[in-house]
Structure 1
Amino acid sequence: MDVPSSGLQAGLKNRHLSMIAIGGVIGAGLFVGSGSGIAAAGPAILLSYVLVGALVIMVMRMLGEMSAAYPASGSFSEYADIALGRWAGFTIGWLYWFFWVVVLAVEATAGAAILHSWVPAVPQWGWALIVMLVLTTVNLASVGSYGEFEFWFAGIKVLAIGTFVVMGLLAVFGLLPGSDNPGAGLAHLTDTGGFAPKGWGAVLTGVLMVVFSFMGSEIVTLAAGESDDPQRAITKATNSVLWRVGVFYLGSILVVLTLLRWNDPAITEHGSYVAALESIGIPYAANIMDFIVLTAVLSCLNSGLYTASRMVFSLGRRNDAPRAFARTTPAGVPRNAILGSVVFGFLAVWFNYQWPDTVFEFLLNSSGAVALFVWLVICLTQLRMRRIMEERHGGALVVRMWAFPYLTWATITVILSVIVYMAFDDSAREQIGFSVLSALLILVVGVVRGLLRPRSGRSAIHVRP
């Protein structure tokens, strides 16, 4: 499986990868969408986060096992190509690319809305254009530029969440000077209709609402291929995912639920974090949170463009995308892959402004369940890749999935259960339907392409000596 260098260069430093790994699990959805989950499930939303968090930890452990052994620009798509077949690598690679170019439009629009509220003289579409152009320029410059921007973007997110958790806990225990929320406390978890006021079935509804905010944790496995020591970076990121999920998701949501009753109107009106900050007397809470959300949006845009470009670059190297996408500049930047992803991103932004309730809604629904599909493919791939890796490495894997294969099969069962539940849930049925349809269309194209154009040569996976 050894092949010559992919053309990408090792421009990411250890501090870049560390922050990409930490910030990858903190999306704008955590800041913006958590209020809806709390309203839907009450304090039991914590169990939803526990379930999804455990799922992400298992999937990242499996992906870490494969990535530490075979660092690759296409990560799970390349592993699926080897373990399951070309059809699998083609399908999940293009689905993942599709997901991220749609995310570009979502995040550009969200960021533009915040910037327009600050500087209304510039139209919202103008801000979306500016944001996209700036981050495109950053990604075109070098992978180090992407890493540096992401280091600071992710750093702000991490600092914001960490400060929020510390201040919230101090307020809950009455240790925060000037806090004016005497009713805060753990009693809020049960004092308004019990821990599960909407019934225990709402926990599964909550799972559907929070699962997609975890998408992005796998980015570090793509980025590690452009570092000097990818194995070390992946091992570190894999081992730290447990505390990252615990602190940033469970910790921050627990703080919100102990500062406010779950049915407080402010949670849905102003957002859970703004409402929590205002409840303890933090001035300008809404403005502070707008800045943090904007940072999260820019971080997601930056990483989304990077991720989409590296995935289509990998597809190009495997002849599953135009070969032009596999070319790099002398600085090791896949310029065509970046520009191709940006063009579709711009197109999706235009759809969002022109036909938000038809064309763009269709795009959103068609990519909505991709996170679950990606995680499912990672699980199935790891089942087959374990044998391949042990043959190559003699069983001496740096990262190993726990209790293999039992936990792998348990994770597959949970993911399939969530997908089935989506099919019977009124609010998610359309999303899962369109997502399955888009997956089937790409799968058919992949199968036909494989029959008409058999691949010559070996896998494009690059294994560093």
Structure 2
Amino acid sequence: MNGDHIGTHGSGDKMEVQSYSQGAPIDHYDEKADVSLHDDTDLSNPTTGDVGQGLQRNLAARHLTMISLGGTIGTGLFLASGSSIATGGPGYSQIAYTLVGTMVFCFMSSLGEMATYLPITGSINAYGTRFFDPALGFMLGWVYWFSWSITLATELVASSLIISYWISTEACPGWVWALVFIVILTGLNLTTVKAYGETEYWLSLTKVLAVIVFIIVGFLYIGGAIGTPIEGAPKPGREVFDMDPFHGGFIGLFSIFLNAGFSFQGAELVGIAAGETKNPRKNVPRAIRQVFWRILMFYVLTILIIGMTIPYDDRELANPDGDVKASPFTRVFVQAGIKVGGDVMNAVILVAILSAGNSGLYASSRALHTLSKEGNAPKFLGYVNRWGVPVYCVLATTLVGCLAFIVSLPQVGQGEAYNWLLSLSSTTGFIAWLGIAVSHIRFRMAYKAQGRSLSELPFVSRLYPFGPIYTILVCLVILIGQGYTAFSPFDIKSFLSAYITLPFIVLLYFGKKYWSKTKILKLVDVDLDTGRSFMHSAMPVMDNESEMNQNKRKPNIFRRVLSAIF
């Protein structure tokens, strides 16, 4: 990986940064570089000098937490959550989401250990290159970039549909709104990473607040404090839940298991953003611990409330068309007496879409930037402007997203090309999680082989080796089992839709190995030092005045409660 994420601008640091980006060990000490390259240094006010030397650490702890938290709360929760209960009942849904949630915690713990030891942008592919095989990093980087680029197009499609809830397509075509949103998102990602982080913070906070309000309203409705139960229907609460909590047997449970896996995708964004985060040794582990419990709480409580208010056999619960009025969130609000539930949820879903598009553009541009600095993408894509933004990577991702949006239009082949693109990108999140788990195993093995002590790690994953092994097994089960419905009876279209990604992954990996003659690295040859040696040379020192000011700013009870929730 490279050192461009460090964000130094003074000429005295240039040699240090270049040696990192070229993969050479840092064999000299420069006091100036020592200070500017420290992971705790605030680089929000870069000094004058050469433009484009690196990305900047301008994301605060709250940004990092919300980026990862917001990445997993989207239309899958707001629109499609009811389909899990319709398929397997509320009981199986609770089991499936809890199991997948524990797997998410396992891979995030693995990511946290590596991201605090080597906090670099584009870590998904960078760790594969550094700890296993350059071919793995090449494959993970391109797959991850493609996935989020197509996700950007998906959000553009969805945004035009959501706006049509208020403004008909006859009054204003959907592509106009898509164009407006892509301009806004691109503009945000072209300013500074802090602008992206601040925008994502508030967008994600809106989604989190919506879920919290839903949970409160749902429990009040179940308890009979608000709303009027539907006459003749089972009473909300245990009576609805016990109708058939374990519906559909093993097939029902397995189907929900797959849906839950897709719903949690996006949690790995905390690793992507680690390289642009202030004090990553402190903030990355904190974000990982907080995000897991909050995501699990939100999903488990949401599924519980839906399962106790809407019967599993309700015709509209599955909501295959993604209708806002049929969303389980909307229906619970309406049943609880909140008549504007449809408008509220439509606004929240629009926020979720913009948030997903914002994160997708950020994540894919950083993955592409990493590929460029590793020599796996055109060199010009490695350019970074004075604000620490990989401009050409952002524009390239925007262009691909726009092209994918164009082929989604009914006038262009009825959107068939777009459907295949979606099929290609649908499973790549699990490939990224697999890459994280494999990289963590190799990192630990190399760390041990080189005689290093775990006590020297800033953050130690206590789940090793169970965590990464469990992640690998779950991801393999999902990747292999996702197309089970295509076999009985055999449906060639469904089969290709489910598994078309896998041949491309194999082609990318072995194609890179053949072209570049890469080999799996020997454990003793794994580079555990380049790019992080500056972290050991100086620790931040707080003077007496700083300590006094910090003591004066101790948060009150209200702020501590908010911090615990958000």
2:77 paired residue number: 30
Q: Aligned AA for 2:167?
A: V
1:413 paired residue number: 473
Going from structure 1 to structure 2, the CA distance change for 1:137 and 1:188 (only over 3 Å counts) comes to: same
Conservation of the 8 A alpha-carbon contact between 2:122 and 2:370: yes
For residue 106 of structure 1, report the CA deviation from its aligned partner: 0.6
For residue 28 of structure 1, report the CA deviation from its aligned partner: 2.1
Going from structure 1 to structure 2, the CA distance change for 1:356 and 1:461 (only over 3 Å counts) comes to: farther
Conservation of the 8 A alpha-carbon contact between 1:318 and 1:460: no
1:307 paired residue number: 363
Choose which of 242, 247, 258 in structure 2 pairs with 1:190.
242
2:214 paired residue number: 164
3-state secondary structure, aligned to 1:281 = coil
The C-alpha deviation readout for 1:159-185, integer Å capped at 9, x for no partner, is 000111111112212234x45468111
The C-alpha deviation readout for 1:126-172, integer Å capped at 9, x for no partner, is 11111111100110011111111101100100100011111111221
1:11-410 alignment runs, 5 A limit: 11-43=58-90, 44-120=92-168, 121-176=171-226, 178-180=227-229, 183-191=235-243, 194-269=244-319, 270-353=326-409, 354-389=412-447, 391=450, 394-396=453-455, 397-410=457-470
Equivalent-residue separation in structure 1 for 2:97 and 2:55 (angstroms): 36
Conservation of the 8 A alpha-carbon contact between 2:384 and 2:390: yes
3-state secondary structure, aligned to 2:454 = coil
Q: Share of identical aligned residues, percent?
A: 31
Equivalent-residue separation in structure 2 for 1:35 and 1:92 (angstroms): 32
Equivalent-residue separation in structure 1 for 2:188 and 2:142 (angstroms): 24
Conservation of the 8 A alpha-carbon contact between 1:267 and 1:275: no
For residue 357 of structure 1, report the CA deviation from its aligned partner: 4.2
Number of residue pairs matched?
459
For residue 40 of structure 1, report the CA deviation from its aligned partner: 1.7
For residue 393 of structure 1, report the CA deviation from its aligned partner: 6.2
The C-alpha deviation readout for 1:84-127, integer Å capped at 9, x for no partner, is 10000000111011100110111111011112332332210111
Going from structure 1 to structure 2, the CA distance change for 1:2 and 1:123 (only over 3 Å counts) comes to: closer
Equivalent-residue separation in structure 2 for 1:132 and 1:460 (angstroms): 40
1:455 paired residue number: none
Equivalent-residue separation in structure 2 for 1:294 and 1:221 (angstroms): 26
Going from structure 1 to structure 2, the CA distance change for 1:356 and 1:36 (only over 3 Å counts) comes to: farther
For residue 315 of structure 1, report the CA deviation from its aligned partner: 0.7
Equivalent-residue separation in structure 2 for 1:384 and 1:174 (angstroms): 54
Q: Aligned AA for 2:465?
A: P
Equivalent-residue separation in structure 1 for 2:173 and 2:141 (angstroms): 35
Equivalent-residue separation in structure 2 for 1:136 and 1:449 (angstroms): 34
1:450 paired residue number: 516
Equivalent-residue separation in structure 1 for 2:115 and 2:530 (angstroms): 11
3-state secondary structure, aligned to 1:201 = helix
Q: Aligned AA for 1:76?
A: I
Report the structure number with the largest CA radius of gyration.
2
Equivalent-residue separation in structure 2 for 1:320 and 1:461 (angstroms): 19
Equivalent-residue separation in structure 1 for 2:138 and 2:530 (angstroms): 14
Going from structure 1 to structure 2, the CA distance change for 1:20 and 1:195 (only over 3 Å counts) comes to: same
Equivalent-residue separation in structure 1 for 2:79 and 2:414 (angstroms): 19
Between 304-313 and 70-79, report the one with greater CA deviation: 70-79
For residue 451 of structure 1, report the CA deviation from its aligned partner: 3.3
The C-alpha deviation readout for 1:391-430, integer Å capped at 9, x for no partner, is 5863122332234213332332222222222243329633
Going from structure 1 to structure 2, the CA distance change for 1:141 and 1:149 (only over 3 Å counts) comes to: same
TM normalised by structure 1 equals 0.92
3-state secondary structure, aligned to 1:73 = coil
Between 355-364 and 156-165, report the one with greater CA deviation: 355-364
Q: Aligned AA for 2:348?
A: I
Equivalent-residue separation in structure 2 for 1:459 and 1:372 (angstroms): 26
Higher relative contact order (CA 8 A, sep 6+): 1
RMSD, matched Cα: 2.4
Conservation of the 8 A alpha-carbon contact between 1:327 and 1:335: yes
Conservation of the 8 A alpha-carbon contact between 1:62 and 1:401: yes
Equivalent-residue separation in structure 1 for 2:75 and 2:388 (angstroms): 30
Q: Aligned AA for 1:55?
A: M
Q: Aligned AA for 1:31?
A: F
Between 383-392 and 209-218, report the one with greater CA deviation: 383-392
Going from structure 1 to structure 2, the CA distance change for 1:225 and 1:207 (only over 3 Å counts) comes to: same
Between 431-440 and 182-191, report the one with greater CA deviation: 182-191
Q: Aligned AA for 2:413?
A: W
Which protein has the bigger helix share?
A: 1
Equivalent-residue separation in structure 2 for 1:122 and 1:56 (angstroms): 41
Equivalent-residue separation in structure 1 for 2:66 and 2:474 (angstroms): 29
Equivalent-residue separation in structure 2 for 1:31 and 1:317 (angstroms): 38
Q: Aligned AA for 2:88?
A: A
Equivalent-residue separation in structure 2 for 1:438 and 1:356 (angstroms): 24
Between 411-420 and 2-11, report the one with greater CA deviation: 2-11
Q: Aligned AA for 2:289?
A: N
Runs of at least 5 residues in structure 2 that lack an aligned partner in the other structure = 4-15, 22-53, 320-325, 488-493, 519-526, 536-566
Runs of at least 5 residues in structure 1 that lack an aligned partner in the other structure = 453-457
Equivalent-residue separation in structure 2 for 1:332 and 1:241 (angstroms): 26
For residue 231 of structure 1, report the CA deviation from its aligned partner: 1.8
Q: Aligned AA for 2:236?
A: A
2:549 paired residue number: none
Q: Aligned AA for 1:347?
A: L
The C-alpha deviation readout for 1:187-220, integer Å capped at 9, x for no partner, is 32222xx211212321111122232121111111
Between 443-452 and 214-223, report the one with greater CA deviation: 443-452
